[in-house]
Amino acid sequence: NAGVTQTPKFQVLKTGQSMTLQCAQDMNHEYMSWYRQDPGMGLRLIHYSVGAGITDQGEVPNGYNVSRSTTEDFPLRLLSAAPSQTSVYFCASSYSRDATYGYTFGSGTRLTVV
């Protein structure tokens, strides 16, 4: 089925470890983004990309890196995990940056940093 695929679904890290959250879409969407969702808070934008080779920061980018070498993939890297990065992470994609066509979200990655 077409959509946004995130891996892994669950991950436990120790403080200071690094890891990459994978995101892939097969809908030829130009726009991709990463959000984190914490209890009692709305989804917050971490980084986004409007096309291959182009990335930009969202509202909470510190501690995260992204790259967009292909249209399909948009990995999120945690350089040195901290307990404050414990959260559920969602990748989303869309045809356009103005979200007229809506966003397709992945099923999420639940990350715990101990």
Partner 1 sequence: KNQVEQSPQSLIILEGKNCTLQCNYTVSPFSNLRWYKQDTGRGPVSLTIMTFSENTKSNGRYTATLDADTKQSSLHITASQLSDSASYICVVSAEGNNRLAFGKGNQVVVIP
Question: Which residues of this protein are in contact with partner 1, per CB under 8 A?
Answer: 4, 31, 40-45, 48, 50, 58, 90, 92, 97-100, 102-103, 105-108
* Residue 100 CA: distances (Å) to CA of 3, 31, 49, 65: 17, 12, 16, 27
Nearer to partner 1, 4 or 113 (CB): 4
* Shortest distance in whole angstroms from residue 73 CB to partner 1: 17
Nearer to partner 1, 5 or 17 (CB): 5
Residues in the chain: 114
Rounded to the nearest 5°, which phi and psi values hold at 97?
A: -70, -20
* Shortest distance in whole angstroms from residue 67 CB to partner 1: 19
Nearer to partner 1, 75 or 82 (CB): 75
Nearer to partner 1, 81 or 106 (CB): 106
Cβ neighbours of residue 64 under 8 Å, at least 6 residues apart? 34, 46, 47, 76, 77, 78, 79
* Shortest distance in whole angstroms from residue 80 CB to partner 1: 27
Say how far apart CA 87 and CA 80 lie, in whole Å. Answer: 15
